[in-house]
Amino acid sequence: MALHLKKRHGIDINSKTSKTSETSSSSSVLSDKDSSSSSNTCTPSHAVKPQGHGQLSIAQAFQTKMAPGSARAQLITRNISLFIATDLRPFSLVDSKAFRNLLNTLEPKYNLPTRATFSRKEIPALCREVYAQVQSILNEAETVALTTDGWTSRATESYITITSHFIDKSWKLQNKVLQTQPMHESHTGVNIATVLKEAVGEWHLERPHGVQPLSSDGAANMALGVQLANMKPHIKCFAHTINLAAQKVLKINEVHRLLGRVKRIVTFFSQKYNSKSPAKTKARTVTVTEASTVDLGENPLEQCIRHVGALSRTTASYNGRTHVSGAVTRCRPGHADYY
């Protein structure tokens, strides 16, 4: 108790007690010590707020910033780092005035670290911690399968991502993204093989049985890279294979001609003309037949319905050829304008 009063409130009970005992009589020394000690701890105004060591008021206590090394401050800093890393937020977030006001409202005593502190210390430390956790889980897996794919960002920067898949001791499927790194070199099979080998070596994925399954798209450069990296079995993406087959079908001459017809029809009914004034758009018309006109301010579907009768009356078929007044449509196979 005496140590607490001396350290926190600046009250030295021993000194006060000794002074009181000197002025009291010898017959009442013990009683005077008790009374003087109790009075000195409670009543004197100079003892409650000694200069430089007084107890802080409630307002002053809330204005005092907590130490950066305190458990509370470290917990808040760690959760901010997790927020930045998990939601892919920029480091400039901590410089935002609104974000600082939010933290000041939630915890006025917390002193937010600078942007450099998060980018050079907190986030790298968090990265090392997560790396160790993932590496520990991978070491326990008997076999680790990989998936990889190359992609381009909106800033036209090339990246390659490698993801691991394995079953842990609890028989739960785990998926961990091992890396997403820029790939400045050309996406050749040799360069892809180099990236795959480096990833396997960095994460210690080699196994005694020598099996390293990998799934990727069916591109020729990716297939060559997997072969050079000696990863097998190589499982190609089924959806990508169907996409490649569909693209080859579209290159067949008969299908290509049919698509050309469909595109011309869609283009005719979906044309939109920009104009400064809606009134001018209504005024602009294009003659299709002698019996009717097309109003460019009208919905194309309504135009089609309105002109079906006029177009049917102005058509004539002979020798396998169909003419429409004002149109350039040829339907006879083998004709020079056939499409």
Could you give the angle at which helices 29-42 and 13-23 cross, rounded to 10 degrees? Answer: 140
The answer, yes or no, to whether residue 30 has pLDDT greater than 60, is no
Provide the pLDDT for residue 266.
85
**Which of 65, 121, 60, 67 minimizes the C-alpha distance to 94?**
121
Three-class SS state of 328: coil
Provide the pLDDT for residue 268.
83
Tens of pLDDT, residue by residue over 163-213, are 999 998 889 999 999 999 999 888 899 999 999 999 999 999 988 887 889
**Which of 110, 111, 168, 179 minimizes the C-alpha distance to 143?**
168
Mean pLDDT taken over the chain:
75
Measured from the Cβ of residue 251, the count of other Cβ atoms closer than 10 Å reads 8
What DSSP line would sit under 89-131, residue for residue? --GGGGG-HHHHHHHHHH-TT--PPPHHHIIIIIHHHHHHHHH
> Edge-to-edge strand order for the sheet containing 214-216?
173-182, 158-167, 145-152, 214-216, 234-236
Average pLDDT in the 227-237 region? 91
Chain centre to alpha carbon of residue 260: 41
pTM of the model: 0.55
Chain centre to alpha carbon of residue 59: 41
Provide the pLDDT for residue 267.
85
Residue 159, φ and ψ in degrees, nearest 5: -135, 160
d(CA 23, CA 77): 57
Q: Which two tokens stand for residue 258?
A: 């049919």
Measured from the Cβ of residue 13, the count of other Cβ atoms closer than 10 Å reads 19
The answer, yes or no, to whether residue 312 has pLDDT greater than 70, is no
**Element holding 324 (H helix, E strand):** strand 321-324
CATH of domain 143-242: 3.30.420
Confidence of residue 56 (pLDDT cuts 50, 70, 90): low
**Element holding 162 (H helix, E strand):** strand 158-167
The answer, yes or no, to whether residue 76 has pLDDT greater than 50, is yes
Confidence of residue 48 (pLDDT cuts 50, 70, 90): very low
Tens of pLDDT, residue by residue over 120-160, are 999 999 999 999 999 999 999 988 999 999 988 888 899 99
CA-to-CA separations, 79 to 9, 93, 115, 125, 277, in angstroms, rounded:
36, 14, 15, 13, 56
Rama region for 222: left / alpha / beta (φ>0; ψ in -120 to 50; rest) = alpha
Confidence of residue 276 (pLDDT cuts 50, 70, 90): very low
Average pLDDT in the 62-67 region? 77
Average pLDDT in the 46-57 region? 53
Provide the pLDDT for residue 152.
87
The answer, yes or no, to whether residue 10 has pLDDT greater than 70, is no
Tens of pLDDT, residue by residue over 235-265, are 998 988 898 888 888 889 988 888 888 888 8
Average pLDDT in the 285-306 region? 49
Non-local (6+) Cβ contacts of 174 within 8 A are: 137, 141, 164, 165, 166, 167, 168
**Which of 236, 144, 153 minimizes the C-alpha distance to 199?**
144
The answer, yes or no, to whether residue 226 has pLDDT greater than 50, is yes
d(CA 62, CA 64): 5
The answer, yes or no, to whether residue 333 has pLDDT greater than 90, is no
Three-class SS state of 316: strand
Domain boundaries, the chain: 66-132, 143-242, 252-324
d(CA 183, CA 172): 32
**Do the Cβ atoms of 21 and 13 come closer than 8 Å?**
no
